[in-house]
Amino acid sequence: MLALISVAATGKPQQCLKTEKTDIIVETLAGGLDHPWGLAFLPDGRLLVSERAGHLRVVSAEGEVSRPLDGTPSVHIAEGGLLDVALDPGFAENRLVYLTYGEPREDGAATAAGRGRLNPASTALENFQVIFRQQPVGTSDYHHFGSRLVFTSDGKLFISTGDRFNSDLSQDLSADMGKIIRINPDGLVPFDNPFANRQGARPEIWSYGHRNIQGLAIHPDTGALWEGEFGPTGGDEINIIEPGHNYGWPLVSWGEHVDGRSIPKPPTRPDLADAIQHWTPSISFSGMTFYTGKAIPAWRGNLLLAGLASQALIRLTLNGSRVSGEERIPMGERIRHVVQGPDDSVYLLTDEDHGRILRLTSER
């Protein structure tokens, strides 16, 4: 558990977290954030953090939080709002910042992604343009917007979505609900997407049969896309994504419908891609990241998950494509996201009214 141990040279209180493999120093880098959701590191050492209510802010290396940037899109909050933030792989030259969010539409709301140029003063996104709009608009205003952004080493952009609480759409290739989307950064669809030439299918779809995906990360060694999604009642999943594969929702699930209806068993089928790991009861995790850094040597090669209802950092050891062990590290707060920083520290976002950015390193 957390115990206050000292005040760092930066003036920030530090706490010691005893974990199975190593003692961790936890420092609050910044506080006073309104349900922070996504995090990206600028090349100059500052951070970009999104807040669910629609604000994007710059945080200095010393933890000073800026006023909201101008030029960001209006958002529909509910379970959506402003979601993930990512930098263009060529950010040093083009200063492009990508956002994903719940977009208010004339007839409801749905997930969208767009990009704008961070101005030289880092006070605004200029010329923000939408590059992806989930179609059709969902029937629910409230639930399951996803969404994370991940760039691949070959410059493609993955966007995860949710089923908008209309689970049948996850199996419908004419809808973007419950899908992983793959586009070029300018919004055009790559010609080699699995359904690019299928009549009636949306060409931007990369995989389908998902429920609500808020975890997305590329394996550092294999380059494979790994995904985490919320189950209904139980049945949270991690999947390894292959293009064109069907991940089963709502035909099969390791959980049950939230209204108590049961989902036909067996929980998997040979013609559907099964999760590599699943949890019942739910651990309810959002962001996930592979840890490859030097700051916490004992965690190298592990997969870290940000636990919401479980109020924990969840550390998974891996054996190839199999989960070989699990440690739940209680944090006492809902954790929305986990990211490895350029200094190899682990950064967490707490999903609270007075949300914080926490920095974790090994005790030295």
The binding site for Ca ion (CB under 5 A) comprises 247-248
- Return the number of the residue (185 or 248) whose C-beta is nearest Ca ion: 248
Shortest CA distance to 172 belongs to which of 142, 195, 150, 156?
Answer: 195
Q: Which residue is nearest to Ca ion (CB)?
A: 248
Measure CA of the first residue to CA of the last residue in the chain; give whole Å.
Answer: 18
Radius of gyration of the chain (CA): 19
Q: What is the closest distance, in whole angstroms, from the C-beta atom of residue 248 to Ca ion in the complex? A: 4
Q: What is the closest distance, in whole angstroms, from the C-beta atom of residue 263 to Ca ion in the complex? A: 10
Give CA–CA dist 327/307, Å, rounded.
12
**Measured torsion, CA atoms of residues 322, 286, 44, 90, in degrees rounded to the nearest 10:** 70
- Return the number of the residue (206 or 247) whose C-beta is nearest Ca ion: 247
- Return the number of the residue (230 or 247) whose C-beta is nearest Ca ion: 247
Give CA–CA dist 55/205, Å, rounded.
29
Give CA–CA dist 46/362, Å, rounded.
22
- The one catalytic residue in 35, 55, 76, 144 is 144
- Return the number of the residue (232 or 248) whose C-beta is nearest Ca ion: 248
DSSP state at residue 298? G
What is the chain's percent helix, strand, coil content, to nearest 5? 5, 45, 50
Q: What is the closest distance, in whole angstroms, from the C-beta atom of residue 94 to Ca ion in the complex? A: 37
List 2's β-bridge partners, or say none: 17
Contacts of residue 111, Cβ cutoff 8 Å, sequence gap at least 6: 80, 83, 100, 101, 102, 103, 134, 145, 146, 147, 159, 161, 162, 176
- Return the number of the residue (136 or 248) whose C-beta is nearest Ca ion: 248
What is the phi/psi pair of residue 298, to 5°? Answer: -65, -15
Give CA–CA dist 345/6, Å, rounded.
18
Q: What is the closest distance, in whole angstroms, from the C-beta atom of residue 335 to Ca ion in the complex? A: 23
Annotation marks residue 144 as catalytic? yes
Q: What is the closest distance, in whole angstroms, from the C-beta atom of residue 171 to Ca ion in the complex? A: 11
Give CA–CA dist 101/205, Å, rounded.
18
- Return the number of the residue (194 or 248) whose C-beta is nearest Ca ion: 248
Q: What is the closest distance, in whole angstroms, from the C-beta atom of residue 167 to Ca ion in the complex? A: 11
Residues tagged active-site: 144
